[in-house]
Structure 1
Amino acid sequence: MFNTCDFLERPFIEYMKTQMGMPVWGVGPLLPETYWKPSDSLLLPERPMKPHHWRQSNYTEDDVARWLDSKPRGSVLYVAFGSEVCPTVEEYPHLASALEESTRPFIWVIQSGSGDGYYPDGLNSKAGERGLIICGWAPQVLILSHKSTGGFLSHCGWNSTVEAIGRGVPILGWPIRGDQFYNAKLVGKHLKVGYGVCEDFTEMVKKEDIVEGIERLMGDEGVKRQAMEIGKRLEDGFPASSVAALDVLVDFIRPKTSSEVYRIV
């Protein structure tokens, strides 16, 4: 079983099936239940908010929604690297300088403890209302669902990648480890809904790379159209092909005795 679906990775699902010589099922993307609800429901002012100890942040969901409401459609760059990876200590100042130099509105999420406690001192005052720096947890699905969000500078973790694709948001990939490099290639080379922030990730990412990448992504109408077209495939909820794959998987297992299933596993 793979956490993907036919319309995103059919050639690769078929490749794995051929190479392994056994059934292969794409049963994803496996995302939170709220993701499959209509995106408009995430933006309602009366939306309930359950308290969680890990939702520590300097802004509430309502704060973020109001800030996004004040920005033009498709103008905001969302910058987030997930909860486990981040740029190096040396790269963080380059990112801050790039966001300062860019004229684009941005939301930058800095996770607690990332970058040895780095914080871009002075960027708040320099960017003014153009920037929103969130320290801690951020309502990512809400941000990606908002009409003002026009691009996502991401580490290309799988969940973040699929969340953006499903909302029709182009991606500027900054992979850091593991499968993120392959996800970034999927975004840029196969699906054509974004780019890498630079060509060679064995070297330090610099301000010039980031500024150029932001302008390229945010100004490319072709990539935006492609992202919207692919995003429409997830508008109706969990993919029908993945539901069918789950049904086939159940049928494959159900006739077997417990000892036969054990041998298959």
Structure 2
Amino acid sequence: MLDVEKSVLYVAFGSLAEITIDQFRELAMGLENSGVHFLWVMRIPFEDEFLNEFEERVKGRGVLVKNQWVDQVEILRHGSVSGLMSHCGWNSVLESICESVPLLGFPITADQYWNARMVEDYYGVGVKVLTDTGSVRGFFSSECIANKVKELMNVECVKGKEIRENVKKLKGRGAAARSAMEEGGSSWDALDMFIDQLIFGKKKK
């Protein structure tokens, strides 16, 4: 982990989300051009000179963790982390809110598009990457990615300040969200009921 107090962007897209090679390269260039410190936990979709050259160029302010499992919650709790760039899977959204870390939504599929909108437009605890046409669905350019990264990580700009104030307001709710994911919590019970329906074809009593 980079030892830079409250200035590191943690980048992770879960274990299932698939990113195309072209989008992967745009993402890498966007992070590079943003100028921020970052920790990127990645599943590598390819291995070629681009990735090697990218890693060399960002050495000193960017750390790449390749094809390894990490404890995301522990990373979010680290004092250097000031933002999470995520596919906005619901677990990642909850974990980020619970640890009061602002989000940068990079949706890829399923409910992630709605979650990314909710993060910015409803809760105001992050921003979402947009395509050149203003949509959350499609191909995200490196320029758009770099701009949104800087917007989230700049604690001096109006948007950055508002996001961090909103995250602090949700800090108390974070305890409720955390308890919902624990055994006996509402999220835990809902998942338990869903699994029972799949296996036994009936609701758990």
Aligned residue type for 2:70: A
Deviations 1:36-84 (A, max 9, x none): xxxxxxxxxxxxxxxxxxxxxxxxxxxxxxx34x212x20001111111
Residue in 1 aligned with 2:110?
178
1:228 Cα deviation after fit = 2.3
Residue in 2 aligned with 1:96?
28
1:200 Cα deviation after fit = 1.3
Secondary structure of the equivalent of 1:107?
strand
1:229 Cα deviation after fit = 2.0
CA distance in 1, matches of 2:74, 2:175: 15
1:264 Cα deviation after fit = 9.4
Count of residue pairs brought into register by the alignment = 182
Where do 5+ consecutive residues of structure 2 fail to align? 155-159, 191-201
Largest Rg, 1 or 2: 1
**Within 5 Å, which residues of 2 pair with 1:1-265?**
67-68=1-2, 70-72=3-5, 74-111=6-43, 114-117=44-47, 120-136=51-67, 137-198=69-130, 199-219=134-154, 220-235=160-175, 238=179
The answer on whether the counterparts of 1:168 and 1:232 sit within 8 Å (CA) in structure 2 is: no
CA distance in 2, matches of 1:263, 1:213: 43
**Against the structure 1 CA distance between its residues 203 and 245, is the aligned structure 2 distance closer, same or farther, given a 3 Å change threshold?**
closer
Secondary structure of the equivalent of 1:128?
coil
**Against the structure 1 CA distance between its residues 116 and 212, is the aligned structure 2 distance closer, same or farther, given a 3 Å change threshold?**
same
Deviations 1:106-161 (A, max 9, x none): 001112xx424577222222112211100122221111111211111110001111
Aligned residue type for 2:172: K
CA distance in 1, matches of 2:140, 2:51: 17
**Against the structure 1 CA distance between its residues 264 and 211, is the aligned structure 2 distance closer, same or farther, given a 3 Å change threshold?**
closer
The answer on whether the counterparts of 1:167 and 1:228 sit within 8 Å (CA) in structure 2 is: no
Secondary structure of the equivalent of 1:83?
coil
TM-score by length of 1: 0.61
Where do 5+ consecutive residues of structure 1 fail to align? 1-66, 250-261
CA distance in 1, matches of 2:123, 2:19: 25
CA distance in 1, matches of 2:106, 2:168: 21
CA distance in 2, matches of 1:173, 1:217: 10
Residue identity over aligned pairs, in percent, reads 32
Cα-Cα RMSD? 2.9
TM-score by length of 2: 0.78
